[in-house]
């Protein structure tokens, strides 16, 4: 069945809860490569229980909804779905342990035209179960490469035209104010997946080859977290609560073992950035923007 707008746009996601401990907090940081230098006392605060800090990007791995897009009622060509963009607004620091509630909904389904794909915007709220405090709001853009032109189909005749999100601002045309290289390890995807995303594309060589890759690729949200690491290091002195938001557009995959170079331009409390691979000179995150508190 071709894409069904109403089923996709109005889908009700069940409210999810997730209890987490200090070990989960440290495992997420290890999955991003924190602690690569165990003598770096500032990085150690994210991977050691003494004075433990929670990375502000951790909400992106909490209450993973699984492969919901594969449900036949949506009519999505799920083999051609890719994670296009990600954004996060941090409202309060996560406690080192606790339980979160995650509420999510699809806020837009956008037709880019026949042969051009479609876009789904999903929004999530992460709340502290104990206090009810809003900890973070998240946004996900899924690019449905095989589903463009769905508004012309008879069963979507009454579908409204959802508004597309604004394009991110262009990067400055000058040398970056800061550059930060962070290496990844060969086993990094195997560690990162333990924080929730168990997609075999990132662990099974046979699955990766079937998808057209020579070997498993790094999770896009791991690359996202590494860009957050670069900003924390370069402008926040590793103080987690100083990173207020982080938004990126995914542009190419990373293979574990490659080095991610993040180039950053700062203007007031705003940091624009992109991340590229040192070894292949390929941009993997583009049009990034972060705010500092």
Of the candidates 31, 75, 220, 225, the residue annotated as catalytic is 220
Residue 76 is inside which H or E element, if any?
Answer: none
Other beta carbons less than 10 A from residue 25's beta carbon: 23
SS3 call for 31 = helix
What span, in angstroms and rounded, lies between the C-alpha atoms of 226 and 161? 35
Of the candidates 31, 84, 147, 202, the residue annotated as catalytic is 202
The yes-or-no answer on residue 217 being catalytic is yes
Residue owning tokens 């195997």? 190
Of the candidates 197, 226, 231, 288, the residue annotated as catalytic is 197
The set of long-range contacts for 46-52, using a CB threshold of 8 Å and a minimum separation of 24, is 46/238, 46/240, 49/22, 49/96, 52/22, 52/25, 52/26, 52/96
Of the candidates 182, 217, 226, 289, the residue annotated as catalytic is 217
- Compute the chain's Rg from CA coordinates: 19
The yes-or-no answer on residue 202 being catalytic is yes
The yes-or-no answer on residue 77 being catalytic is no
CB 244 within 8 A of CB 260: no
Contacts of 31 (CB under 8 A, 6+ apart): 188, 191, 192, 193, 194, 195, 222, 225
3-state helix, strand, coil in the chain (%, to 5): 25, 30, 45
What span, in angstroms and rounded, lies between the C-alpha atoms of 160 and 245? 30
Which residues carry out catalysis? 197, 202, 217, 220
């Amino acid at each position: 069945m071709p894409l069904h707008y109403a089923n996709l746009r109005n889908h009700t996601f069940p409210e999810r809860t997730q209890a987490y401990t200090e070990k989960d907090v440290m495992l997420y940081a290890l999955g991003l490569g924190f602690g690569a230098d165990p003598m770096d006392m500032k990085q150690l605060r994210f991977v050691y229980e003494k004075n433990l800090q929670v990375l502000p990007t951790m909400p992106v791995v909490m209450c993973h909804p699984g492969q919901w897009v594969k449900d036949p009622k949506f009519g999505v060509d799920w083999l051609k779905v890719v994670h296009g963009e990600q954004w996060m607004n941090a409202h309060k620091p996560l406690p080192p342990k606790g339980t979160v509630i995650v509420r999510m909904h699809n806020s837009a389904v956008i037709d880019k035209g026949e042969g051009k794909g479609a876009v789904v915007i999903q929004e999530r709220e992460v709340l502290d179960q104990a206090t009810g405090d809003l900890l973070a709001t998240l946004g996900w853009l899924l690019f449905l490469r095989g589903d463009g032109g769905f508004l012309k189909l008879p069963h979507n005749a009454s579908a409204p035209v959802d508004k597309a999100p604004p394009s991110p601002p262009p990067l400055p045309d000058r040398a970056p104010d800061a550059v930060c290289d962070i290496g990844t390890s060969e086993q990094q995807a195997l560690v990162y997946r333990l924080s929730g995303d168990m997609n075999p594309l990132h662990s099974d060589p046979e699955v990766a080859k079937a998808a057209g890759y020579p070997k498993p690729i790094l999770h896009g949200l791991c690359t996202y977290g590494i860009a957050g690491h670069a900003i924390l290091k370069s402008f926040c002195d590793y103080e987690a609560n100083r990173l207020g938001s982080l938004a990126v557009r995914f542009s190419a995959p990373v293979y574990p073992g490659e080095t991610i170079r993040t180039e950053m331009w700062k203007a007031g409390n705003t940091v624009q950035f992109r991340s590229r691979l040192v070894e292949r000179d390929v941009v993997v995150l583009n049009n990034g923007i972060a705010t500092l508190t």
